[in-house]
Amino acid sequence: MPKQINRGAMNVSRRALMGGAAASGVGLLFDAVRPAVVSAQGVAPIRIGMLNSYSKVFAFLGDSVFKGMSLYFDQNNWQIAGRKIELIKEDDEISPQTGLDKARKLVDSDKVDFIFGLVASNVALAIVPFAQQSKTITFINAGVTSLNQVRSPYIFRTAFSAQQLSTPMGGWLYNNGIKSLVATASDYAAGHDVINEFKKGYIKAGGKIIQEIYPPLGTNDYSPYLTQIKTLAPPATYSFYAGADAVRFINQYAAFGLKDTVPMTGWGSLVSADVMDGVGRNAIGCITSSMYTDTLDTPENKAFVQAYSGKFNALPSQYSSFGYTGARVLHDAIGKLNGDTSDKLKVSQAIAETKFQDPRGPFAFDPVTHNPIQNVYVLKTVAAGDKVVNQVVYTAANIRDPA
């Protein structure tokens, strides 16, 4: 039996991650560096390099993606067209150089068939040239807009782009009475990208950005920045924070007395399910845009929420949906090819043609950009009994990036 994953703070027992699949011996997780193996039936397994941020401020995000993918493969006996699936987990530590080193290790030493994960935009940008050069089909869950310009058979995005979620939100906020605001985000590639894309829709609609504020990624004390917001006294804020940063920002925002005086709006990760336990009622009233929320009233989502919460005792977040959707894409595309992954261009074409009803709604790939075509939801965080949930207040259907 292969060695179990052990990644420090992200070490999770096989039982917790694999459930019934582990008990039956079909869900295999690898940590050791070793070449591709051939199963007892003489068929090589499908090897997926789960390269993501499993530590630091984005630990919640990487873990959620991993759990979403694990759940889907659990439901399909950890096989595609008779071939077993193996996941090899590596932490990029939100470092472009570390991520690139780990990608090379996965491709050159572990001989993976696919790379999946990559929620950190700075890491994704560093890895794309290597993925193209090595002809490794890579699924990205980072939202940085510049990836829209990549035209490669080897690069796909199963999440969203900053442009796709932010630009429609700008127009919606202006049309719903927020005529000016302060924009604030973590100071790294994705933070600046989200604000820039939001501004396109907001300013075009007639909105005014009073000031932009960018605390460092991983900030513990937001008081200097919240003091600026309090002094400016804007009609609202638009914010991009994720993971532990979102928890700290929202809680300190409320502690500064801003929650009831300066309405908070922003990107979906601000109040995603993976941070809701940490913010609780401090998030009530927040308005965000996302491609997923656990309250979507569809058969596909109800089944997903039931299965995910039953396995992990938590509600799925948008990041959980990235992993689940990506696993479905692989399952459908490789199944269409009867398990044959030898011709990467044929695999790429099968992936690009994949479409289905997903927990998030209808899902398909743009044939040019390989970005998803999907619904974008405007959400409001509300109290529902003793819980806090995100309810859909507006749906923009089948949105694609104009790139």
Report the alpha-carbon distance of residue 69 to residue 16 in Å, rounded: 14
What's the mean pLDDT in 112-122? 95
Provide the pLDDT confidence category of residue 41 given band limits of 50, 70 and 90: low
Provide the pLDDT confidence category of residue 403 given band limits of 50, 70 and 90: low
Give yes or no for residue 16 having a pLDDT over 70: no
Give yes or no for residue 315 having a pLDDT over 50: yes
Residue 55 to residues 49, 92, 244, 301, Cα–Cα distance (Å): 17, 8, 11, 28
Q: Using a CB cutoff of 8 Å and minimum separation of 24, what contacts does 256-261 make?
A: 256/223, 256/226, 256/227, 256/229, 256/230, 257/230, 258/226, 258/229, 258/230, 259/285, 261/233
The residue type found at 243 is: G
Q: For domain 163-290+376-399, give the fold.
A: Rossmann fold (3.40.50)
Residue 352 to residues 80, 154, 326, 388, 392, Cα–Cα distance (Å): 18, 10, 12, 37, 29
CATH code given to domain 8-160+297-370: 3.40.50.2300
Q: Do the two domains 8-160+297-370 and 163-290+376-399 of this chain adopt the same fold?
A: yes
Among the residue ranges 49-53, 144-148, 208-212, the one predicted with the least confidence is 144-148
- For strand 355-358 and strand 361-365, is the pairing parallel, antiparallel, or unpaired? antiparallel
Q: Do 335 and 370 touch, CB atoms closer than 8 A?
A: no
What's the mean pLDDT in 304-322? 96
Give yes or no for residue 39 having a pLDDT over 70: no
Q: Which residues contact 70 (CB under 8 A, 6 or more apart)?
A: 17, 18, 27, 87, 323
* Collapsed DSSP state (helix, strand, coil) of residue 369: coil
Q: Which residues contact 6 (CB under 8 A, 6 or more apart)?
A: 31
Chain segment 191-206, per-residue pLDDT in tens: 999 999 999 999 999 9
Report the alpha-carbon distance of residue 388 to residue 275 in Å, rounded: 11
Give yes or no for residue 17 having a pLDDT over 80: no
Report the alpha-carbon distance of residue 242 to residue 58 in Å, rounded: 7
Q: Do 69 and 75 touch, CB atoms closer than 8 A?
A: no
DSSP class of residue 127 equals: H
Burial class of residue 6 in the structure, from the number of CB atoms within 10 Å of its CB (0-12 exposed, 13-18 middle, 19+ buried): exposed
Report the alpha-carbon distance of residue 64 to residue 19 in Å, rounded: 16
Per-domain residue ranges of the chain = 8-160+297-370, 163-290+376-399
Query: Over the range 45-55, which residues count as b (16 or more CB within 10 Å of their CB) and which as e?
Result: bbbbbbbbbbb
Give yes or no for residue 221 having a pLDDT over 60: yes
Report the alpha-carbon distance of residue 341 to residue 34 in Å, rounded: 20
Structure tokens at 274: 């993976």
* Cα separation of the two ends of the chain: 46
What's the mean pLDDT in 325-346? 97
Report the alpha-carbon distance of residue 182 to residue 20 in Å, rounded: 48
- pTM as predicted: 0.86
What's the mean pLDDT in 82-106? 97
